[in-house]
Amino acid sequence: MLSAAHTWSLTAIAIASGFGMLWVFARFSDGERIRLAQHKIRANLYAFRLFADEPTLIFRAQKQLLLWNARYLRWMLAPSLVMAVPVFILLMQLEAIYGSRPLAAGESAIVTAQFDAGTDLHSLTPSLIGHGIVVETPAVRIPDQHQACWRVRAESTSGSVWLRLPDGFASKTVQTGSGVRYISMRRVASLFDWLHYPAEARLPKAGIRWIGVSYPYAAIDVFGWRVHWLVWFCAVNLLTMLAFRKRFDVTS
């Protein structure tokens, strides 16, 4: 379980992001139109009870309910689109900090190298060299998945592993210790994957897609309970928005 510093820092980030989302909704949404849509939706729902014996009126209320729901979603779309990319980037960064923990001294993990589909692992003999990290096993090749794996052991300080390639080397950091750390799960080659794993520079185009480390899963300590960081983040974020939405004159 992660430390109290992780819990408090994640809580602060969730509160700050809640204020940021409220500001976006206040800036980019039309509160009057949204309130109108909400009133119309409620009115048509009440019509189902008031005119239960009038099929024509019920059908008309259903039509109006669908229409005003569509308008409500359209008016909520603009702030949602504005927030989509920043929220995605934020969640990716938080996953790197709170989703896993560094290895403890003496703890083992698996390093996996994913090669290109055209790589023939039957003829290739990949090798891994550790710097501050002990490589405990020779390569275990999985030809049908184009992967090679090694078991490594952490020492007292963070280090790196170096994968020998036909035309050089490719390195990957391995983090050890405690405290709030930015964990690099993978070092990748493609630009698209790098947007998900931006902690290290992209790998050279040398027949390898990524090198990853199987860091242990981590959980946030919330009053003694093990909670996934995303659950706690969403809960604090939502409570912040509900508590302060009137201050920002936000209708949702």
Q: In terms of domains, do 23 and 83 share one? A: yes
Number of domains in the chain: 2
Distance CA(2)–CA(221), nearest Å, equals 6
How much is the average pLDDT of 144-165?
Answer: 91
pLDDT of 243 higher than 80: yes
3: phi > 0 → left, psi -120 to 50 → alpha, else beta; which? beta
Query: Which pTM does this prediction carry?
Result: 0.79
| pLDDT top residue among 229 and 70 | 229
8 Å CB contact between 165 and 119: no
* Domain housing 24: 4-99+223-244
CB 156 within 8 A of CB 123: no
Q: How far apart are CA 54 and CA 203, in angstroms?
A: 68
Structure-token pair, residue 231: 């659950």
Kindly state whether residues 62 and 152 are assigned to the same domain: no
- Do 94 and 167 share a domain, yes or no? no
Residue type, 107: E
CB 17 within 8 A of CB 237: yes
pLDDT in tens, 211-220: 999 999 999 9
Q: What is the pLDDT of residue 200?
A: 92
Q: Is residue 251 a part of any domain in this protein?
A: no
Contact present, 215 and 99 (Cβ < 8 Å): no
